[in-house]
Amino acid sequence: MEGDDETYILLLLSDSNLPTGSFVASAGFESYLKHGFPAGSNSRSSETRTIAFIQDSLETYARSALPFVSDAHRAVHEFKRSIDATSEDTDASLSMEELLHSLSTLDQLYHDMTLNHPARRASTAQGVALLTLFTKGFSAPPSLKASLQPNKRAISINTVVDKFKTMIRREETQGHLPICWGLLTGTLNLSLERSQYLHLFLHARSLLSASVRLNEVGPYGAQQLLLHAVRPLVEAETSRCRNKKTGILDEEFDELNAGPATTWPLGEILAGRHDLQHSRIFNS
Amino acid sequence: MSPSDAQRPTDIRKISVGGGRIVLNKLAGQIVTFAELSSTYPLKLLSPKVTEDGVAVVYALTYGGGLVGGDRVNLSVEVGAATSLVLLTQGSTKVFKTRPGDRLSSLPTQFPRPAHESTSPTTQIMNFAVAPSAALFLLPEPVTCFRSAAYNQVQTFHLAANASAVILDWFTSGRKSLGEEWVFSRYYSANDIWVEGKRVAKDVMLLEDDPVDASPLPRRQLRDKLAPYACFATTFLFGPLVQPAIKKLSCRYETIQVFKCTAPDKLIWSLSLVDDGAGAIVRTAGLEPEDVKMWLKEALRDVEELIGVDTYRRAFA
């Protein structure tokens, strides 16, 4: 049953109609093309341009964001375990404060490490949209509320999401996408492995839809790439970065080899120049 | 690390291999003096005389003009209240996998090399504490990693209230004259910047010659994803002394309008403000290191009057 629940959640989250704001983000792809990249691209097809960008973008995104997804998910998992371990009448507010503290510390570090402003802007916009999706799109519908009784664990975790949203509204924390994704998928009981994989898959897929909107590839071409090019890439990058951490939840931490990092300095510059484009259709 | 760790005085005799320590203080008037200026092999610190009031210059050099696998440099710097320190290198920092011409028999016996040198990376760790109203100008030449070299650089900066800093961190594609372009094995550079005990930026850049296997996709080598550029620079500007420079660069940046290009420009740069505009991060990429140097020299022109014309010229010689 657990597996069926997870599969159903996976289907919901991979729906391309989810209102997460990713359709206005190109993660620097629009700027990359506008600036005449990749170098020597006149001799290349628009399809190879799209593939090259997805490869470089996914590599740097996996190494810089996945550690935050993983740690946010782990923190939620720890919280759920502590709730399950306590008796019905124990006050959960202490571990709740701990979880909120971990999440906002992760959020602040991601903010301090995400230094180009269009990327910061896109990340917080999508993070907040995800949490809104959770509270508005995953709560019980009014007519079924009475027969859908949430358990203690669900009540506590929903409270965490509400409190984190309040912290974002009060500007006490930023609400960056990788942290919100880890929180959301942890809350919905998606396993860490699936959460990591789906996060990178969605990044790659939104680059493909950006490519369609930018007239680089057609909708069928995008579908071909999603099946034959994105799949091995998402698998390879997930497996390379699945054990990377932020260092915030661990006492032993080999930061030089296992910590978050940007791997594409050129991508940083191009993404940072997004707003300088004379005309543009994306927000990042 | 907390600011107090960085400021804790170290006994000079305790400095280990590759260690160095600079403590700059102000005496009466505009006279600055080094309370400490010490280093051990392979690091060497030299301070030429400068004429500018309140400014001291230190060259951080390495014996043989480069670093090899296994070398560890650990430099700790305190810039005392109301002083300015300019830290330079002479020529680019060359990182070799092994010291050229080194054979076991020819190793200088007074400096035995660690046995693992050919496999372990070169590591430079630098900690800076900048006191109130002081300024740090870290303007080295770029790092150049040779074939198969592995390099780690971890720099931490603690700025007090009203302290300022210009931090330049850059690297090149390698020894182009020998056909080496992006063929090092690893380049890792972290810059962790704190102002009054609060982190304002942590930039971690990692380049590895280790593309994932995503067959049937072609492997993306470093040169594929960084083309056509051979030099990347990141400049961090923080504090009251550099506000005019930030303002000028921001204005210049905002006037740029990008229309559709058919090929990449020979130089490209970006600017992002952080810490509510109190700091800026400028990234630059160019076809040649010389292009980037000329651009930086012009872009950071406001620094010239802070450190003196001669010192500025030395920094971008």
User: pLDDT tens digit string along B253-270?
Assistant: 999 999 999 999 999 999
Say whether pLDDT at B109 is over 50.
no
DSSP letters for A197-263:
HHHHHHHHHHHHHHHHHTTSS-HHHHHHHIIIIIHHHHHHHHHHHTT---SSS-SS--HHHHS--B-
Using an 8 Å CB-CB cutoff, list chain B residues near A278.
257-259
What pairing do the DSSP bridges indicate for beta strands B267-274 and B231-238? unpaired
Q: At B295, list the tokens.
A: 């651009």
Query: Rounded distance, CA A214 to CA B273, Å?
Result: 28
Residue B206, token pair as written in the block: 């990692």
Q: 3-state DSSP call for residue A61?
A: helix
Using 50, 70 and 90 to split pLDDT, how confident is the model at B44?
very high
Interface mutation vs chain B, best among A37, A64, A224, most B CBs within 10 Å: A37
pLDDT mean over A97-106: 97
Percent of chain B with pLDDT over 90: 78
Top residue of A30, A215, A256, A270 to mutate, by most chain B CBs within 10 Å, is A256
Residue A277: name the closest of A78, A93, A32, A37 by CA.
A32
Q: Write the DSSP symbol of residue A41.
A: G
Q: pLDDT by residue (tens digit) across B157-199?
A: 999 999 999 999 999 999 988 999 999 999 999 999 999 999 9
pLDDT above 50 (res B9)? no
DSSP code for B200: E
Q: Are A187 and A134 in contact (CB under 8 A)?
A: yes
Q: Enumerate domains of chain A plus CATH numbers.
A: 25-34+45-276 (1.10.4190)
Q: How confident is the model at residue A79 (pLDDT cuts 50, 70, 90)?
A: very high
- B258 touching A (Cβ < 8 Å): yes
As for the ipTM of the complex, it is 0.94
Q: What is the pLDDT of residue A92?
A: 73
- Average pLDDT (B90-99) is 86
Fill in the amino acid letter for A263: T
Residues in a beta bridge with B235: B168, B282
CA distance B14 to B285: 40
User: Is the separation of the CB atoms in B210 and A63 below 8 Å?
Assistant: no
Q: B177: buried, middle or exposed (CB in 10 Å: 19+, 13-18, 0-12)?
A: exposed
B232 touches chain A (CB under 8 A): yes
* pLDDT surpassing 70 at residue B271: yes
Note whether A39 contacts B228, CB cutoff 8 Å.
yes
Chain B contact for A258 (CB, 8 A cutoff): no
Residue B108: pLDDT over 60: no
Distance CA B60, CA B82 (A): 22
Indicate yes or no: CB of B214 within 8 angstroms of CB of A236. Answer: yes
More confidently predicted of B205 and A140: B205
Show residues of chain B in contact with A268, CB under 8 Å.
Answer: 270, 283
Q: In angstroms, what is the C-alpha Rg of chain B? A: 20
State the DSSP string of B91-158.
S-EEEESS-TT--GGGS-TTSPPPTTTTTSPEEEEEEEEE-TT-EEEE-PPPEEE-TT-EEEEEEEEE
Question: Is A261's CB within 8 Å of B201's CB?
Answer: no
Which of A117, A128, A110 has its CA nearest to residue A21? Answer: A128
pLDDT tens-place string over residues B47-92:
998 878 899 999 999 887 789 988 999 999 999 999 999 999 988 9
> Do A240 and B205 make contact, defined as CB atoms within 8 angstroms?
no
* For residue A33, pLDDT beyond 90: yes
- DSSP letters, chain A, are -HHHHHHHHHHHHT-TT--SSGGG--TTHHHHHHTTPSTTGGGS-HHHHHHHHHHHHHHHHHHHHHHHHHHHHHHHHHHHHHHHHS-TTS--HHHHHHHHHHHHHHHHHHHHH--SHHHHHHHHHHHHHHHHHHHHHSSPPGGGTTT----HHHHHHHHHHHHHHHHHHTTSS---HHHHHHHHHHHTT--HHHHHHHHHHHHHHHHHHHHHHTTSS-HHHHHHHIIIIIHHHHHHHHHHHTT---SSS-SS--HHHHS--B--HHHHHHHHTGGGBSS-SS--
Kindly state the greatest CA–CA separation across chain A: 68
Q: Is B269's CB within 8 Å of A269's CB? A: yes
Confidence of residue A94 (pLDDT cuts 50, 70, 90): confident
| Alpha-carbon span B194 to B196, nearest angstrom | 7
Cross-strand pairs, B155: B126, B191
Residues of B with CB below 8 A from A228's CB?
216
Q: Are the C-beta atoms of residues A182 and A195 closer than 8 Å to each other? A: yes
**Residues on chain A touching B258 (C-beta within 8 angstroms):** 31, 34-35, 273, 276-278
pLDDT for res A41: 67
Scanning the structure block, which residue is given the tokens 């789906």?
A198
CA A130 – CA A118 distance, rounded (Å): 18
From B170's Cα to the closest Cα of chain A, the distance in A is 11
How many separate helices (H) and strands (E) can be counted in chain A?
12, 0
Q: Count contacts between A and B (CB, < 8 Å).
A: 139
pLDDT at B4: 44
The closest CB to that of B264, out of A36, A56, A235, belongs to: A36
Nearest to B168 by CA among B296, B24, B314, B310: B296
Whether pLDDT at B115 is above 70: no
Q: Residue B144 has which token pair?
A: 């150049």
Collect all residues of chain B within an 8 Å Cβ-Cβ radius of residue A255: 190
For residue B216, whether the previous peptide bond is cis, meaning omega lies within 30 degrees of 0, is yes
